[in-house]
Amino acid sequence: MTNTALQERPVQIGDPGVGSRVLSGIMPTGDLHIGNYLGAILNWTRMQHEHESYFCIVNLHAITTPQDPAELREKTREVAALYIAAGIDPKVSRIFVQSHVHNHAELAWILNCLTPLGWLERMTQFKEKARGERERASAGLFTYPVLQASDILLYGGTPPRPLYVPVGDDQKQHVELTRDAAERFNRLYGEVLSPPEPLIPKRGARIMGLDAPDRKMSKSEKGQYHGIRLLDTPEVIRKKISRAVTDPGQEIRFDLARPGLYNLLTIYELFSGQDHEQIERNFTGQGYAALKKELTEVVSEGLRPLQERYKAVRDEPGYLESVLAEGAERAHEESARVLGEVKRAMGLG
Ligand code: ATP
Ligand code: LTN
């Protein structure tokens, strides 16, 4: 595999930053795609060696919109297996399911009582997801960011320490609300919670849909040619890339005025590990057909090891359940300390 960017592992256990924490999570709704990978998971695989890391499958967030129970259960395992396949090492990081650690729901209730409605009214994700059907959207969808704040703040440590949240750029507003919630709590009750920092990658923080370069690639988009799934076969990847929307003009270069091309080149950049200049040089005198062919190759090859590991994880009886049980135990232990401090500070002991 030629893929240096995806394999780069610049940090080691024991580097400065010991004591600091990382938490992030993904909803087990739909199929994970290369946007989730390039915007979030890839960063997790690097950060886990620098910080004590917690990676969660946020199934309580998933039920803010209706879910089929059997499918939810299966998707939860699928996402956990994909974390491992992508390079999250269960011996280094704690991988767990949100609903297995009841402290998340308990802190969410407490923070719900401290969060002004006005803060939630401003959240753009609610507006998008409720899609004008505000009256019918669940109360859970509205307070979703408070549950997310709880996921994060439970792992800030006692005493509070640096806390990082690696996410794509659509989650920035939620992490900012989490910071505000922590600061408000600390003003009211003393320094208990660690205000987190979002960590958003410079490249790949917002991969766009292949069929609509003006919309973020997203699990919940139904279009057949919208996103490349982590488990897509090379043939499916080829079809999707060959149909990707492009822009007028022949020359292959990073040009923000041509968003379809820019998106394809960004994906190429991240999977190939080459920089802009190299890529533009490689494609001099060539057109979209050449770019799409090469892109199909780097993406399929880049995902192949992940897909092989995914199969191995799913085929090993009992392995995934044991990782999740161990992860939940460690997460419970850690989060119980912060929750205990919160309750003591508020007189809930
Ligand atoms: P949904 O459509 O179900 O909301 P999603 O595809 O937006 O799903 P999430 O579960 O909301 O995915 O996101 C998981 C992580 O992946 C988050 O950190 C998010 O910022 C990141 N992410 C999601 N979509 C993209 C994208 N297109 N580009 C980069 N990062 C992304
Ligand atoms: N809202 C996030 C998922 C999420 C999350 C978290 C991300 C829930 N809890 C805690 C980071 C940290 C999303 O990607 N849709």
Q: pLDDT tens across 186-232, in order?
A: 999 999 999 999 999 999 999 999 999 999 999 989 899 999 999 99
- Assign residue 19 a region: left if phi > 0, alpha if psi is -120 to 50, beta otherwise? left
Known catalytic residue: 129?
yes
Would the CATH topology of 7-11+21-205+317-346 be identical to that of 234-314? no
Tell which one of 131, 164, 214, 218 to mutate to probe ligand 1, the residue whose CB is within 8 A of the most ligand atoms. Answer: 218
Q: Is the pLDDT of residue 8 over 50?
A: no
324 Cα–ligand 1 center, Å? 22
Amino acid at 235: E
Q: What is the pTM of this model?
A: 0.94
**Region 81-89: what's the mean pLDDT?**
98
Confidence of residue 10 (pLDDT cuts 50, 70, 90): very low
Query: Do strands 163-166 and 94-97 pair parallel, antiparallel, or not at all (unpaired)?
Result: unpaired
Domain residue limits, the chain:
7-11+21-205+317-346, 234-314
Residue 281, burial from CB neighbour count under 10 angstroms (0-12, 13-18, 19+): exposed
Helix or strand holding residue 336 (H, E): helix 319-346
171 Cα–ligand 2 center, Å? 7
With the CA atoms of 187, 144, 177 and 189 taken in that order, what torsion angle do they form, in degrees rounded to the nearest 10?
10
Q: Which residue has the tokens 């959207």?
A: 137
35 Cα–ligand 1 center, Å? 7
Q: Is the pLDDT of residue 250 over 90?
A: no
Which homologous superfamily does the CATH classification assign to the domain defined by 234-314? Tyrosyl-Transfer RNA Synthetase (1.10.240.10)
Known catalytic residue: 216?
yes
The dihedrals phi and psi of 311, each to the nearest 5 degrees, come to -60, -45
CB 62 within 8 A of CB 205: no
Task: Please report the pLDDT score of residue 17 as a whole number.
Answer: 46
List 75, 219, 240, 292, catalytic entry: 219
- Domain spanning 7-11+21-205+317-346, CATH class: alpha beta
pLDDT tens figures, 300-325? 999 999 999 999 999 999 999 999 99
Residue 114, burial from CB neighbour count under 10 angstroms (0-12, 13-18, 19+): middle
Torsion 273-278-283-288 (CA) sign: positive
Alpha helices in 69-171 (DSSP H): 69-86, 103-112, 117-121, 124-130, 139-153
Instruction: Give, using CA atoms, the residue closest to atom 12 of ligand 2.
Output: 24
Query: Closest ligand 2 atom, CA of 147?
Result: 9
Task: Please report the pLDDT score of residue 6 as a whole number.
Answer: 47
138 Cα–ligand 1 center, Å? 21
- In the structure, which protein residues have their CB atom closer than 6 angstroms to any atom of ligand 2? 23-27, 58, 61, 148, 151-152, 165, 167, 171, 174
pLDDT tens figures, 28-72? 999 999 999 999 999 999 999 999 999 999 999 999 999 999 999
